[in-house]
Amino acid sequence: MNPRLFLAWLALPWLVFGQGEPVPEAPDAPPDPVATRTAAEKHARVRQLPNGDTQVGTIILHRQEREISFPAEFLPGVNELEVVIATPNGRLHESLLKADIGPVQLQFTLYALGLNNGLRIATEAIPRGDLVDLDVAWTDAAGQRHREPLESWILDGRTGQPMARIGWVFVGSGMKDGIFLADEEGNICLNYSVGSTILDIPDEAGMDDTIFKVNRGKPLPGPEAEVRVFLVPRPRVQEERK
């Protein structure tokens, strides 16, 4: 069966998609089934907006612009980075941004935009997943709109400069025993490539958890600013396989 058709069949109740990844350690206590169901229902609500865009929970598929956006907030007091964007049940102590969205719904929306997931780094047999750029957008107190590369807030320890804009790989998460693993682990985008996630870093440095830190020299949006993260697909190019 076509993998996307199979995943779409799985998605009917809660828009669930995925392919296999390692299993995380079991939590100390089982999740509250009522709270879990409430969150799933909130994230899975789908509606068509008047301008033709599609909203899945708080994720918006901007059809004309071919972009995806969702609300997020910067996390205070973080220095060492392993996670670029986490959900509320993720590793917030080492994350740049928190987004209260369902990773499974984001993966569904990326598929709906026509993107293909794959490996973080291509091999001779398996291609890399499609690349997206990540932007942070907000409106300041004066009403001025801003939109800047997310990498501006990440410091690369190898250069002492903001992280280069090399894109983020759509790797996609997997399922095990009916659990979508990125939901379980709370990962949306990783810079330290350990764990199940939707987006991952294409850099070899992704296996080193000491390289990337929060760029303290980059001011954050004001506390009243409503921040949204935008995912912008990069054009596909023919890559040299390793």
Find out whether 159 and 167 touch, Cβ atoms under 8 Å: no
Contacts of 163 (CB under 8 A, 6+ apart): 151, 154, 155, 156, 212
Tell whether the model's pLDDT for residue 239 goes beyond 60. Answer: no
Asked whether residue 89 is domain-assigned, the answer is yes
- Choose between 59 and 44: higher pLDDT: 59
Phi/psi at 44 (5° precision): -95, -5
Question: Residue 72 pLDDT > 60, yes or no?
Answer: yes
Helix residue ranges, H only, 71-217: 103-112, 181-185
Task: Provide the pLDDT for residue 98.
Answer: 98
| Beta-carbon contacts of residue 228 (< 8 Å; ≥ 6 apart) | 69, 70, 71, 72, 136, 137, 138
Residue 241, domain member (yes or no): no
Which own/partner contact pairs does 235-241 have at CB distance under 8 Å and 24+ positions apart? 236/130, 239/122, 239/127, 239/128, 241/122, 241/123, 241/124, 241/127
Tell me which residue of 86, 63, 114 sits closest to 196, measured CA to CA: 86
Task: Indicate whether 41 belongs to any domain.
Answer: yes
Per the domain annotation, does 222 fall within a domain? yes
pLDDT digits 0-9 by tens, 26-39: 444 555 555 545 55
Please state the domain count of the chain: 1
Q: Would you state the pLDDT for residue 237?
A: 73
**Does a structural domain hold residue 68?**
yes
The pLDDT value recorded for residue 27 is: 46
Mean pLDDT over the full length of the chain: 86
Residues 6+ apart with CB under 8 A from 162: 151, 152, 153, 154, 155, 156, 215, 218
CB within 8 Å of 137: residues ≥ 6 apart:
69, 145, 146, 147, 227, 228, 229, 230
Q: What angle do helix axes 103-112 and 33-44 make, rounded to 10 degrees?
A: 20
The candidate with the shortest Cα–Cα distance to 149, out of 131, 166, 169, is 166
- The DSSP call for residue 169 is E
Q: Is residue 52 part of a domain?
A: yes
pLDDT at 178 over 70: yes
pLDDT score at 41: 62
Sequence-distant (6+) residues with CB within 8 A of 187 are 83, 86, 87, 90, 103, 173, 195, 196, 197, 198
Does pTM surpass 0.75? yes
Q: Which residues have a Cβ under 8 Å from the Cβ of 141 and sit 6 or more positions away?
A: 222, 224, 225
Q: Does the residue 28 lie in any domain?
A: no
Residue 238 has pLDDT above 70, yes or no: no
- State the residue range of the domain holding 205: 3-20+34-233
Q: Is the pLDDT of residue 110 over 70?
A: yes
Average pLDDT over residues 162-184: 96
Q: Say if 102 falls within a structural domain.
A: yes
